[in-house]
């Protein structure tokens, strides 16, 4: 017996804003690459590499939204919304790869210092900071509604911190002539990426493995169902998410003696919606416990 389904998709994802952010990131990436080559700054080039991943994250987000909005079909009954999660996971792995590459280049620079044009480096980094602040403002209202948009936001956020680091490094090089600071800033940018990217990757893997959505407790959900009048017990309980905003539940509930199945079903759904914002539920109500036969379900 199935409950009322409220399908949450990516209709609210800000596509025009993503296009604007993509245009900003792509344009300034080119400027930073050129500036890094001209000034000899590895920190600028590392920031440009992050801008590249920003642009790729935004492009992947747009592609994921386009694919994810395709309706369900005979082969993919849940639709294509999970493409968003695959795209976010790919983006996280890409960002980790870029961070390792920057660390390697910084290590080489420590033994082979390069001459740095600090004032040019400073000017480009200031423009980069402004671009990142604008992009963050564009994405900030939707970062908690989509892992894909969250991934893009985190990269822009990391790049914003990188721009601040480049500005500080350029100023220090200009004042002291310590050109090794450029490599130090590049290393800092690389290490700054890891924690946020790891968290994003963990969230993606949890969804792909049909794990319990963050912020939900399977034990609490089970207790809520059992506490509904007319429910004797519950088993074969599964709680997962198709995407970050689309949690689903299926369960077998054993009815108490003389309990009305339809009344109990509606009561369970009301409790799940009220306490856990769960709207996509599939409930099988039983007069006899089929738990010993769970292996065939």
pLDDT attached to residue 53: 67
pLDDT attached to residue 55: 76
pLDDT attached to residue 246: 81
pLDDT attached to residue 252: 94
Show the 3-state SS of the chain. CECCCCCCCCCCCCHHHHHHHHHHHHHHHHHHHHHHHHHCCHHHHHHHHHHHHHHHHHHHHHHHHHHHCCCCCCCCCCCCCCHHHHHHHHHHHHHHHHHHHHHHHHHHHHHCCCCCCHHHHHHHHHHHHHHHHHHHHHHHHHCCCCHHHHHHHHHHHHHHHHHHHHHHHHHHHHHHCCCHHHHHHHHHHHHHHHHHHHHHHHHHHHHHCCCCCCCCCHHHHHHHHHCCCCEEEEEEEEEEECCCCCEEEEEEEEECCCCCHHHHHHHHHHHHHHHHCCCEEEEEEECCCCHHHHHHC
pLDDT attached to residue 203: 86
Each residue's pLDDT expressed in tens, for the chain with a length of 297 residues: 444 333 333 444 567 777 877 787 777 777 777 777 777 776 677 667 667 767 776 777 777 777 767 777 788 877 787 887 887 788 788 778 877 877 777 777 777 766 677 777 788 778 878 887 887 787 776 666 666 677 667 767 777 777 787 888 888 888 887 777 777 777 777 777 777 778 888 888 999 998 999 889 999 999 999 999 999 999 999 999 887 778 899 999 999 988 899 999 999 999 999 999 898 899 999 987 776 554 444
pLDDT attached to residue 14: 63
pLDDT attached to residue 10: 43
């Amino acid at each position: 017996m199935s409950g009322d389904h409220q399908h949450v998709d990516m209709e609210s994802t800000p596509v025009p804003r993503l296009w604007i952010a993509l245009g900003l990131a792509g344009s300034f990436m080119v400027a930073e690459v050129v500036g890094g080559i001209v000034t000899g700054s590895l920190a600028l080039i590392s920031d440009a590499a992050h801008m590249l991943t920003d642009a790729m994250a935004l492009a992947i987000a747009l592609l994921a939204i386009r694919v994810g909005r395709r309706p369900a079909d005979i082969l993919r009954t849940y639709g294509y919304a999970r493409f968003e999660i695959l795209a976010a996971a790919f983006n996280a792995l890409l960002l980790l790869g870029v961070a390792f590459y920057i660390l390697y280049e910084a290590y080489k620079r420590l033994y082979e210092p390069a001459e740095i044009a600090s004032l040019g480096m400073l000017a480009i980094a200031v423009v980069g900071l402004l671009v990142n602040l604008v992009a963050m403002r564009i994405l900030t209202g939707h970062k908690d509604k989509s892992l894909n948009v969250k991934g893009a936001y985190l990269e822009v956020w990391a790049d914003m911190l990188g721009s601040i680091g480049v500005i500080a490094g350029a100023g220090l090089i200009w004042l002291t002539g310590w050109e090794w600071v450029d490599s130090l800033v590049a290393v800092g940018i690389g290490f700054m990426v890891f924690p946020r990217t790891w968290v994003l990757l963990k969230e993606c893997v949890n969804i792909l493995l049909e794990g319990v959505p963050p912020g939900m407790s399977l034990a609490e959900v089970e207790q809520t169902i059992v506490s509904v009048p007319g429910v004797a017990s519950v088993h074969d309980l599964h709680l997962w998410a198709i995407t970050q905003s689309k949690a689903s539940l299926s369960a077998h509930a054993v009815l108490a003696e003389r309990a009305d199945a339809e009344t109990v079903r509606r009561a369970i759904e009301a409790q799940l919606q009220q306490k856990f914002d769960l709207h996509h539920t599939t409930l099988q109500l039983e007069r006899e416990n089929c738990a010993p036969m769970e292996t065939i379900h």
